[in-house]
Copies of this chain bind each other. A is one copy, B any other.
């Protein structure tokens, strides 16, 4: 059953009382502070809860308080929004979304990007290494990942300047320098660590929800031509590090109870430290729009590895984690062509351009293009849980 609120929310809003995602906003003329989205309003948490932990320009301090406090805070908010006697207190702390600026919700500590979609990894293997097995021998034994640049994780809406760098045309003897010609998106889901873990203490799969606070959407912009030239043998670097955009709202794990589903079967069975403990696949329906037109609907439930397995793997060597660590799933691609989460795959390496409205075609991104990723998940009583959109427009080099 969906909870009844006394607030007048838009019909079928995916930001109802069952969601309550956290972000950082500035009211007009005011400093950044924490808020929760309700319908098309933002609730100022420092004002509503009279707690200075929310009067900060990032959620980190609140996230560091831990699972028990997260759950208590959510219960208090639910109380405020369902008990009409709280109306005066709440109404004074609500800001129309249209009148605030939204920021990066957390100060990002380390950023890791995984590669956890079997369809995506298979597609990439087929496109780049057509004469080899598409999946590398390690792929089904561990969630492959690498560190990205946390300093260039940016808020949704931040323009993305086309990066320049080295690329080597196939028929050239030497690399050339210039703006990327194969600028791409990667539609991903991100997980933010609230409670860190000390050096030497792996986080078992079963402890996932003690450490991870919430979930956001990520667009891991990628310059395929820069990446192709640089990535052997140490992996992606400048092809990724120019910008990674994240959505403004962290949907707490507590809001995703109805989205939890069983992960797909794994063969071979993973090593014991990666064994599932509870269903932590998440039934998130992503949607990718290019200049307003839907070009893909990647289904997150099809991911081979869960976020709980990713965190267990990330820490199995004793690596510590910190409040604000962000790790992303890697590109989400489902089995159908219109479920692929990158232009690389949607256009099969640029060879089969997309045809958009008015007959416009796209291989990779052109200057002025705007990409927006959204998602929803099942909530209680048929309600939908919405994610804030992550969007960005390409500016010329």
Interface residues in chain A, defined as those with a beta carbon under 8 Å from any beta carbon in chain B: 109-110, 115, 136-138, 141-142, 144-152, 154, 161, 163-166, 168, 174-175, 177, 199-200, 223, 226, 229-239, 241-243, 268, 271-273, 313-314, 316-322, 325
Evaluate contact between A177 and B271: CB separation under 8 angstroms. yes
Cβ–Cβ contact A321 & B151, under 8 A: yes
Q: Which residues of B contact A320 (CB under 8 A)?
A: 151-152
Cross-chain contact of A316 among B168, B238, B314 (Cβ < 8 A)? B238
Measured between beta carbons, the chain B residues less than 8 angstroms from A235 are 146, 231, 233-236
Other-chain contact of A319, B137, B241, B316 (Cβ < 8 Å): B241
Number of copies: 2
Contact A136 B232 (CB under 8 A): yes
13 contacts between A and B (CB under 8 A): A142-B175, A142-B230, A144-B233, A144-B234, A145-B234, A145-B237, A161-B200, A164-B318, A177-B271, A199-B242, A231-B233, A233-B235, A238-B316
On whether the beta carbons of B234 and A115 are closer than 8 Å, the reply is: yes
Please give the distance in Å from A165's CB to the nearest CB on chain B: 5
A163 touches B318 (CB 8 A): yes
With contact pairs A175-B138, A233-B235, A234-B236 given, residues A146 and B147 touching in the complex (Cβ less than 8 Å): yes
Beyond A231-B233, A234-B235, A241-B314, 16 additional pairs, beta carbon < 8 A:
A137-B168, A141-B166, A141-B174, A145-B237, A146-B235, A147-B149, A152-B319, A154-B199, A163-B317, A166-B271, A175-B271, A223-B317, A231-B235, A233-B235, A234-B236, A241-B319
Chain B residue with Cβ nearest A142: B166
User: Across the interface, do A147 and B144 meet the contact criterion of CB distance under 8 Å?
Assistant: no
* Interface of chain A: mostly helix, strand, loop or mixed: loop
A317 B242 Cβ-Cβ under 8 A: yes
Beta-carbon contact of B229 and A138 below 8 Å: yes
* A109 proximity list for chain B (CB < 8 A): 150-151
Min CB distance A397 to B, Å, is: 9
Question: Are B138 and A230 interface neighbours, CB within 8 A?
Answer: yes
**Residue pair B229, A165 in contact (C-beta under 8 Å):** no
Specify the chain B residue showing the minimal Cβ separation from A166: B142
A238 and B317 form a contact (CB under 8 A) = yes
B-chain residues with CB within 8 Å of residue A110 when the two chains form the complex: 149-151
Contact of A147 among B147, B166, B314 (CB under 8 A): B147
Q: What B residues does A115 contact at CB under 8 A? A: 234
Q: Once the chains are docked, how many angstroms separate the CA of A144 from the CA of B223?
A: 16
A242 to B200, CA, bound (A): 8
Beta-carbon contact of A146 and B322 below 8 Å: no
- Contact partner, A174, options B150, B168, B177, B268, Cβ 8 Å: B268
* Residues from chain B with Cβ under 8 Å of A237 in the complex: 144-147
Using A151-B110, A317-B241, A322-B151 as known contacts, say yes or no to A272 and B141 having CB atoms under 8 A apart: no
- Chain B residue numbers with a CB within 8 Å of A144 are 230, 233-234, 237
CA distance A382 to B374 in the complex (A): 64
The residue in chain B whose Cβ has the minimal distance to the Cβ of A137 is: B168
Residues of B within 8 A of A226 (CB): 317
Q: Is the CB of B316 within 8 A of A164?
A: yes
A133 to nearest B CB, angstroms?
A: 12
Least distance between A386 CB and chain B CB atoms (Å): 29
* A245 CB to nearest B CB, Å: 12
User: Within the complex, what minimum Cβ distance (angstroms) separates A264 from chain B?
Assistant: 20
